[in-house]
Amino acid sequence: MKKRLLLLVAAAAISMMAGTVMAEEELTPIDNYPAKSLQITVPPSAGGGTDVLIRAMTPKMEEYLGVPITVVNKSGGGCAIGFAAGAEDPNDGSCITAGVAELLGLPYTTSFEYTYHDFEPICNFNSCYGTICVPKSAPYDTIEDFVAYMQENPGVRFANSGIGGPWHILAAEFAEDIGAEVVHVPCDGGGPAATACAGGNVEAVNVSDAEVKTYVDSDLLKMLLTFSPERLEGYPDVPTALEKGYVGADVVVFRGFIGPKGMPQEAIDAVDAATRYALADPGVQEFMANNMYTNNYMNAEDFLKMMDDMDKVIADQCEKLGLS
């Protein structure tokens, strides 16, 4: 486990370095994008976190590329419909897809025929990480106390955002790491999972900080741990899994761009640069800060590495959970 933790720390450092390089780079709009327009397929539903963030970034991306951009939602089937459409899109640079974490789980939990290897990674622009929260009235105030309670009391209920989803996988990996038996309670999304815990219907929830923020701020939940690479800005007193020696930092809810297989490198590089151009815009930065989006830019190589690492965890846990 020590070796794995060192690798995760190194990966976090690389991610932070990439963000620093991006912030220092000056980008100038281009006039030679290889396609006359760009369509972004968004597999998650309209109005969701991925859709809203991409639409906030699109005007600046459009400005950089010099071509009109259309955002099209193709939701359904746990994002399977959108990903299937994106995999079959023309690969001439006219179409890309929002690459989100659901793509990794679909091949293991459904009969979905595509994997992330059927796409060209372009870049990642946002990530969020799980937390462990418990009801405010719970008799433990530290993660060590809660872990001890879990080990002594098999059957602690963890609410998650859906069977086979990243938060389900995260809870399973964490429970295996500490040697505890837990009951996974699927909910219809991270928000309902947080509500279930705040209402005392389960003992814990491990969704993102954004999904529990309302309940933590109103003293209905208390946060004991975060799986982020470093402590969250809004919760500086909450330790990370890396600090405490727990696994789980390799389960990430990411948001990036992927293209159809065979997409020209020229178009990949241009979309990557357009993404960085948007992320560097003060208006986009203000929008992201106001809505709790973090800038987690990764280039194609680092993005693929993150998906490779997370895919191994999902495959392992889906097999152990009997979901494959």
**For 2-25, what is each residue's pLDDT tens digit?**
444 444 444 444 444 444 444 456
* Residue 54 and residue 107 in one domain: yes
Identify any residues that bridge with 240 across adjacent strands, giving them in sequence order.
Answer: 226
Q: What percent of the chain has pLDDT over 70?
A: 92
* Residue 82 and residue 6 in one domain: yes
Q: Which residue in the block uniquely carries the two structure tokens 């872990």?
A: 147
What element of type H or E holds 69? strand 69-73
DSSP 221: E
What is this structure's pTM?
0.84
How many domains, the chain? 2
Q: What stretches of 130-230 adopt beta strand conformation (E)?
A: 131-135, 156-160, 182-186, 204-205, 221-226
Could you read off the pLDDT of 20-60 as tens digits, one per residue? 444 456 899 999 999 999 999 999 888 888 999 999 999 99
* Residue 122 and residue 6 in one domain: yes
* Residue 21 and residue 52 in one domain: yes
* Residue 155 and residue 67 in one domain: no
**DSSP-based three-state secondary structure for 115:** coil
What is the predicted pLDDT for the residue at 164? 86
* Residue 268 and residue 235 in one domain: no
In whole angstroms, give the CA distance from residue 3 to residue 59. 43
* Residue 137 and residue 234 in one domain: yes
Checking DSSP bridges between strand 38-42 and strand 95-100, what pairing results, if any? parallel
Q: Mark which of 188, 211, 244 sits at the end of a domain.
A: 244
> What value, to the nearest 5°, has the Cα angle with vertex 22 and ends 226 and 127?
25
Could you read off the pLDDT of 166-185 as tens digits, one per residue? 999 999 999 999 999 999 99
* Residue 197 and residue 238 in one domain: yes
Average pLDDT over residues 292-311: 95
Range(s) of the domain holding residue 286: 2-128+252-320
